[in-house]
Amino acid sequence: MTLKQEILNTFSKKKSHQIVFSPRLYYWYFGNKIYSRLKKNFSVYVAPQYYGKTQLEIYKELKISPRYAEETLYLPLYSTRFEPDSHIKVQTEHGTKEGETITIHKTPHGTLKYIESIGSGLGGHKTEYPIKSLEDIKIMRYILENTNFSFLKENYEIADKQIADIGVTSTYLMKSPYKKLVTELMGFTRTILYLKKYPSQIENFMIFLENCDNEMYKQISNSPLEIVNFGENLDSNLSPPHYFEKYLLPYYEKRVKQLHQAGKYCHIHIDGSLKDLLPYLEFLNFDGFEALTAKPQGDVTLEEIKDAIGKKILLDGLPSILFLKEYSWDYLERYTQKVLNLFAPNLILGVSDELSPNGNIQKIIKISEIVKDFNN
C-alpha cells in the first residue's frame, strides 16, 4: 500500500501493513538554508547532497511522509482577509531589537499594537500583546467581525497533487478561544488576571471568539480534507486543569463532533508539560494525539502516555532532543524500538515535535531503516 493509504488505514482502524514514519523537517530545512545551492551555507548538520533540494524531494528520497502543506510546500490551505469597507489598516515596522517586528492595526474604533520577536529567523513569540485593556477588546471585536475566513481549494488541489501517494494533505486549524487569548491576544498573565477581575467580560469575549470560529469549521467540514489537526500546542502550565475543564474540554467536544459528522479524522497537538493533563486524554474525542513528548524531554514516561491514550493514535513519539549529539545512536535505536512496540499499530511515527536545525538528519535515515525492519 502507499504511505497515504497506510495513514488513512491507521486512522480508520483498518488493517495496516506498515508503520509510517512522518517527521516534520521544516525547522531543520530552513534553519540550515537547505534550499540554497551556495557552498558557503553548508552546515555540519546537513549532508551536502541535500542542498538545493526541496523538502518534498528529501521526503521522497528518504521514503518518509510529509504532514502539512504549509510547512512542506508553503501552501496555506486557508486564509483570512479584512472586509474591504472595514477601513482596517495594518502597518508593520522593525522594532529596536534584532528580529523584532511591530504590527499596528488601525481601525475606526481605535488602534492595537503588538510586538513579535523572531529567534534565529525561525519561530516567533509575542513580547507585547494587542489587548491590554477592556477597551482594547472592543477594537479587537471590530477587527474580527470584519475578518473573513476562506478555505483555499485551489491550494489544496495543488498540494494534494504534489504530495500524491506519500502522505495525506492536511492542515492545522486556528486556536480555540482560550488558547487564542493566552498565545495571541492577551498573553497568559493578563488572561488569568482578567478572568479573575472581569470574568463576565472575558467569558463573553470567549463566546464571541467561538462564534467567530463557526465559519472556519463550516468550511473545513465541507472541504476535501480527510485529516485535520487542532494546532493548540497545549501545555499544562498554560492550560491547568481548572481552565482546561471549563474552557477547553467543552470546545473540543463540540468541534470534534462537528468534524466527525462531516467524515473528518481529528488529532490535537500537545507538546508541552503533560502530566496534569494525562487524566483528561481518555475523555477527549480526538482520534489521535500529536507530539505528546515523553521523557527525557517531557515530564511523563512513554508507558504513562500509552496508559492514558489507550488505542488512540500517537503521532510522533520520538523527542527531538534525541537527535542531538548528546544522545547516542544506541539510545535512539532502543527508544525507537520501545515506541514501536508500545504504540503500533496505532502509530504515525515522528519527531516530537520537529527536527531542530542542529538535529542529525542521519538519525532520521537510521530510524527509517528501523521502521522498515519493524514492518518486515
Kindly tell me if the per-residue pLDDT of 47 is higher than 90: no
Q: 40: pLDDT confidence band, cut at 50, 70 and 90?
A: low
Q: 132: pLDDT confidence band, cut at 50, 70 and 90?
A: very high
For residues 46-63, average pLDDT: 92
Kindly tell me if the per-residue pLDDT of 121 is higher than 70: no
Helix (H, G, I), strand (E, B) or coil at 68: strand
Q: 32: pLDDT confidence band, cut at 50, 70 and 90?
A: confident
Q: 122: pLDDT confidence band, cut at 50, 70 and 90?
A: low
Kindly tell me if the per-residue pLDDT of 95 is higher than 90: no
Kindly tell me if the per-residue pLDDT of 80 is higher than 60: yes
Q: pLDDT of 285-296, one tens digit each? A: 999 999 999 999
In the beta sheet, which residues pair with residue 81?
A: 148
Q: pLDDT of 182-213, one tens digit each? A: 999 999 999 999 999 999 999 999 999 999 99
Helix (H, G, I), strand (E, B) or coil at 53: coil
- Matching CATH number, 3-81+133-375, of 3.30.365.10, 3.40.50.150, 3.20.20.210, 3.30.1490.100: 3.20.20.210
Quick one: which of 83, 84, 80, 62 has its CA closest to 72?
62
Evaluate whether 210 touches 144 at the Cβ level (below 8 Å).
no
Peptide bond into 353 cis (omega under 30): yes
For residues 307-326, average pLDDT: 97
Cell of residue 260, nine digits: 466527525
Mean pLDDT, the chain, whole residue set: 95
Quick one: which of 244, 315, 316 has its CA closest to 276?
244
pLDDT of residue 174: 97
pLDDT of residue 39: 58
* Percent over 90 (pLDDT), the chain: 88
Q: Give the residue, 125 or 168, on which the prediction is more confident.
A: 168
Kindly tell me if the per-residue pLDDT of 119 is higher than 90: no
* Per-domain residue ranges of the chain: 3-81+133-375, 84-132
107, containing H or E segment: strand 100-107
